[in-house]
Amino acid sequence: MPTPSRLDQLLVFYQQDPTDPFTIYALATEYRADDPKKAWEYYEKLLTEHPDYVGTYYHAGKLLEGFGKKDEAEQVYRKGLVVARKAGQLHAAAEIQQALTSCLGLDYEDE
């Protein structure tokens, strides 16, 4: 019998506990490259049901940018900054700030 893929294993974990934010995040990560719309469904679930899960905001924003939805991405980054700072996750906050700056087109280099 073949070994189940990581995605198959995550889907089993998700069936067992569809409220676990780590499993939802892991599924979004698995789907991000091959099925971004499916990944977005999981990020959206995290943003709605687990708004304090800091890891969501950077990747959800990047995915929205990839969909050409810069305004929505900006809102996700801004909310993520507040959540990350409130949680004391300053490294995550710095990454989100960098993504927001880039999203707004403010990351130009001095010549």
For the stretch 38-77, pLDDT in tens is 999 999 999 999 999 999 999 999 999 999 999 999 999 9
Residue 16 forms part of a structural domain: yes
Residue 1 forms part of a structural domain: no
**CATH number of the domain that residue 64 is part of:** 1.25.40.10
How many structural domains are present in the chain? Answer: 1
Amino acid, single-letter form, for residue 50: H
pTM, two decimals, is 0.90
Secondary structure class of 105 (helix, strand, coil):
coil
Residue 67 forms part of a structural domain: yes
Q: At what angle do helices 6-16 and 21-32 cross, to 10 degrees?
A: 150
Question: Is the distance from CB of 73 to CB of 92 less than 8 angstroms?
Answer: no
**Per this entry, what is the length of the chain?**
111
The parent domain of residue 66 ranges over 6-103
Residue 94 forms part of a structural domain: yes
Residue 109 forms part of a structural domain: no
Residue 39 forms part of a structural domain: yes
